[in-house]
């Protein structure tokens, strides 16, 4: 199942609205890169583990 993480669920000073969806490893990698570049987080194993706890299952969108 695809995973999703949405910055709107975690308000910050950046007022970010980015949503990232995909396979778990892709989302963690992209969310880490985004968090480092936009939210000034540090890329550590602990931070990546925390991101994994924030992932949600993607709700399929039907036309």
SS (H, E, C) the chain: CCEEEEHHHCCCCCCCCCEEEECHHHHHHHHHHHHHHHHCCCCCHHHHHHHHHHCEECCCCCC
Give the per-residue pLDDT at 63. 60
Give the per-residue pLDDT at 21. 97
pLDDT one-digit tens code per residue, 5-32? 999 998 778 889 999 999 999 999 999 9
Tell me the pLDDT band of 62, cut-offs 50, 70 and 90: confident
Structure pTM? 0.87
Do 28 and 48 contact (CB within 8 A), yes or no?
yes
CA–CA separation, 2 and 4 (whole Å):
7
């Amino acid at each position: 199942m695809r995973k999703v993480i949405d910055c709107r669920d975690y308000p910050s000073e950046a007022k970010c609205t980015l949503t990232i969806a995909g396979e778990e490893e892709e989302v963690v990698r992209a969310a880490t890169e985004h968090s480092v570049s936009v939210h000034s987080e540090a890329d550590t194993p602990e931070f990546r583990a925390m991101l994994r706890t924030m992932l949600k299952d993607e709700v399929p969108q039907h036309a």
